[in-house]
Amino acid sequence: MDVTVVEHPLAQHLLLALRDTGTEPSRFRAITKRLTVVLMLEAARDLPTHSASVDTPLGRAEGMLLDKPIVTVPILRAGLGMLDAVVDLFPSVRVGYLGLRRDEATFRPSEYYVNLPRMEDAYTFVLDPMLATGGSASAAVEQIKAAGAPWIRMVAVVAAPEGVEKLHSSHPDVGIYTAAVDDGLDANAYIVPGLGDFGDRLFGTEP
């Protein structure tokens, strides 16, 4: 399976704070942003670059620039919690949106909103905090490929083995970057131990 678990101490420190039931929504949002920065740095570690040079106040300096633009597509609504971190890292990023709703009886995703930018010339990162069954992630990647994206990576806060296997079997060319692969799914297809309903905790809409 092409999955990279980001074991950086800061990633694991932040993940444990997200798992904590005592973490209130405002802090949950702030921690999500910080953790996404760490995950994205790892997911973008090997992006191709080319040589370039600039004038500094004291002379000429050689360096590197990314070869292609960056696109990011958060899966609504929980993926929005990861978006600001990517925009901060890549200010010229093109942002698309995919709205996928899970049927609580069948656990299958249904699409309710799509707005995607030009992607055929870019590196695309899909943001989905919880890679659970893998149904939504697989459907999202299918849609993004159909829109012309030639290169895609999935960035998740936590994943279940079932979700990793589903995405890998459907799209073996898509790498997965996450802070943890947890034990599995419960009867309601929630990740265990996970961290609960990410969207509800992010937006303060827990019942």
16-66 pLDDT per residue, tens? 999 999 999 999 999 999 999 999 999 999 999 999 999 999 999 999 999
**Looking at residue 192, what is its pLDDT?**
95
Confidence of residue 114 (pLDDT cuts 50, 70, 90): confident
Tell whether pTM > 0.85.
Answer: yes
CATH 3.40.50.2020 matches 3-47+67-203? yes
Q: Residue 125: which H helix or E strand, with range?
A: strand 123-127
Q: Is the confidence at residue 131, as pLDDT, over 80? A: yes
The answer, yes or no, to whether residue 207 has pLDDT greater than 70, is no
Confidence of residue 76 (pLDDT cuts 50, 70, 90): confident
- How many DSSP H helices and E strands does the chain contain? 6, 14
Average pLDDT over residues 115-144: 94
Report the chain's mean pLDDT, rounded to a whole number. 92
What count of residues does the chain have?
207
Look at residue 179 in the predicted model and tell me its pLDDT.
Answer: 97
| Res 150 pLDDT > 70 | yes
Helices 80-89 and 25-43, interaxial angle, to 10°? 50
Residue whose entry in the numeric block shows the structure tokens 């802090």:
27
pLDDT band at 205 (very low <50, low <70, confident <90, very high): confident
Spacing of C-alpha 77 from chain mean position: 12
Local confidence band at 113 (pLDDT 50, 70, 90 cut-offs): confident
Instruction: Give me the percent of the chain exceeding a pLDDT of 70.
Output: 95
Tell me the catalytic residues: 102, 106, 197, 200
pLDDT at 106: 57
